[in-house]
Amino acid sequence: MRACALLLLAPSLCGAQAPDALRHRLDRLTTSDSTPSIAVAVVRNGAIVWEEAFGWADKEHHQRASVHTSYNVASVTKTFTATELQILSSAHRLDLDRPANAYLAGLPDSVRVSSPAWNAAQVTVHRLANHTAGLATHYLFCFTDTPNCHVSVSEAIARYAVAIRLPGERFDYSNLGYGTLGAVIERVTGHPLGEAMNSDVFVPLRLSDTFIGPAGSRAGVAASYDGKGRRADGYRSTTPAASDGYASIHDLARFGLFQLHAHLSDQQRVITDSAIDWMQTETVRADEQYQYGFGWWVEPDHFGVRQVYAAGGSNVASALLVLVPAEHLAVAITTNAPFLLTDIADEVIALYLPSFAARRAAPTAAQLPTRPVPALVGSWAGWIATYRGRVPLAVRVDSLGTVHTSVGNAPEADLSNIQFSDDGRVSGGLPGALPVDELKGRKYHLVTELAVHGNRTTGYVTASLDPGAVEGMGLSYWVDLYRR
């Protein structure tokens, strides 16, 4: 049975023609195996004006989705975690500018952020939270029936929490940064992450359908499905503070209300409005279009409006919470399958903002340079550093933009899907294989990003499972090369 709640400023929303067209679109989506259910909520001027769920929360058991069904919200979890960090900072229990390792004392010595080139003390809590700590791509999630699935947070930190870039130098989105922050929260509060977040964030904000997983046998949780409609139970990851949150669409709307300074009578002001605004202020550029604050993405000009948003996606779930603070507007969307939700969010926002609707158009991708900077041209040799030892790597870049590589003892082959940037970086697909435990017996591919620093080129190689796997894996390893 569908759930639809209409309050205050949109009395005709359920019956208006445009929303009906949107509702029919969402209904059609949930008739396919690839998207079992989807839920949407809209906040405007301090109230929830629309919330509705479509389709099956659990196809096999014929359980319909409702506005109180809890969905895995993937990386929207980071915004919950950032809120917890701000609460602890406001209470002077945690210093955002202190090294993260200072809070990991008491854990085994190996469970620390490290770096072969930079001072790990520069990896602060704040830099982990805005993805400028120097950590590279990392994700590893699996399911109850995944063979040999190991998702230890401590092991992930010990093996992969390596500052590959100079801390503070540039943005590089990393789940492991937030995975490390989860360990920091546990050390500061003295409680498991889920208990700390529940006590400090979810209960005070009356988010009764929200929790940090795993979901286990908890009632009211949507089952997860991959893009082919295959069920995948028991989601768990190495970075719960980054991606293991669950929330209903009703709770995401209420969280949006808090972030828009609604001051609901049943919500405690766990952080001040000025702290909320600080979190939503862009501090680092991610690329030409997007910036990042403290647990929030920021798009300064999205068809004429400034958007602040939290987005999450995995092979089995997607979630989005978009705020338009100047318009006191928020849109939340969840689904129990992989699905790109931004177009639906834009369609909803267009219902409320005529100027946005008029400017809405397909975005154009920024074009990166097609030739390398002169400093990158030449022959380089060194290694990929894994926890199982070093793997030799040779790279040869010619002036026309061809990049020849050799991993280990493999013959030379060209880097594919090459992209160059004007600050001396090159990225692309890397042929080869690495000797690490998580990759044994798995079909995977390698991508690399390298940056030139005089006669030294550093960066990382990320190993990811090939498309078609339900599990997710993106494991990064330090690369160090010198000019030959």
In this structure, the number of other CB atoms found within 10 A of the CB of residue 53 comes to 28
In this structure, the number of other CB atoms found within 10 A of the CB of residue 90 comes to 13
Q: Which residues of the chain have pLDDT under 50?
A: 1-18
Please tell me the predicted confidence (pLDDT) of residue 1. Answer: 37
Please tell me the predicted confidence (pLDDT) of residue 365. Answer: 56
Phi, psi for 439 (deg, rounded to 5): -95, -10
Q: Please say whether the beta carbons of 70 and 220 come within 8 A.
A: yes
Which residue from 83, 79, 132 is spatially nearest to 284, judged by alpha carbons?
132
Close Cβ partners of 216 (under 8 Å, ≥ 6 residues apart)? none
C-alpha dist (Å) from residue 407 to 165, 179, 214, 385: 21, 30, 38, 12
In this structure, the number of other CB atoms found within 10 A of the CB of residue 462 comes to 21
Rounded-to-integer distance, Cα 229 and Cα 337, Å: 8
Rounded-to-integer distance, Cα 269 and Cα 257, Å: 12
Rounded-to-integer distance, Cα 226 and Cα 317, Å: 8
Q: Please say whether the beta carbons of 431 and 422 come within 8 A.
A: no
Per domain, the residue ranges of the chain are: 73-359, 374-483
Please tell me the predicted confidence (pLDDT) of residue 361. Answer: 60
C-alpha dist (Å) from residue 457 to 230, 411, 450: 43, 21, 6
Within 174-295, where are the H helices? 175-189, 193-197, 240-243, 249-259, 273-279
Residue 174: alpha-carbon gap to chain centroid: 8
C-alpha dist (Å) from residue 384 to 121, 414, 436, 480: 23, 17, 12, 7
Rounded-to-integer distance, Cα 434 and Cα 422, Å: 30
Rounded-to-integer distance, Cα 306 and Cα 325, Å: 8
Please tell me the predicted confidence (pLDDT) of residue 9. Answer: 36
C-alpha dist (Å) from residue 116 to 120, 132, 297, 352: 9, 17, 30, 51
97 burial (CB, 10 Å; 0-12 / 13-18 / 19+) is: exposed
Q: Which helix (H) or strand (E) holds 465?
A: strand 456-465
C-alpha dist (Å) from residue 124 to 83, 89, 128, 239, 307: 17, 13, 6, 18, 27
Query: Residue 124: left if φ>0, alpha if ψ -120 to 50, beta else—which one?
Result: beta
Angle between helices 175-189 and 77-90 (to 10 degrees): 40
Q: Please say whether the beta carbons of 140 and 237 come within 8 A.
A: yes
CATH number among 3.40.50.300, 3.40.710.10, 3.30.342.10, 3.50.50.60, domain 73-359: 3.40.710.10
CATH architecture of 374-483: Beta Barrel (2.40)
Which residue from 191, 209, 308 is spatially nearest to 259, judged by alpha carbons?
308
**Overall pTM > 0.85:** yes
Long-range CB pairs of 450-455 (<8 Å, 24+ gap) are 450/395, 450/425, 450/426, 450/479, 450/481, 451/165, 451/423, 451/424, 451/425, 452/373, 452/375, 452/376, 452/424, 452/425, 453/424, 454/375, 455/482, 455/483
Please tell me the predicted confidence (pLDDT) of residue 479. Answer: 97
Rounded-to-integer distance, Cα 418 and Cα 406, Å: 16
Token duo for residue 77: 């979890």
Token duo for residue 110: 């190996």
Rounded-to-integer distance, Cα 271 and Cα 194, Å: 19
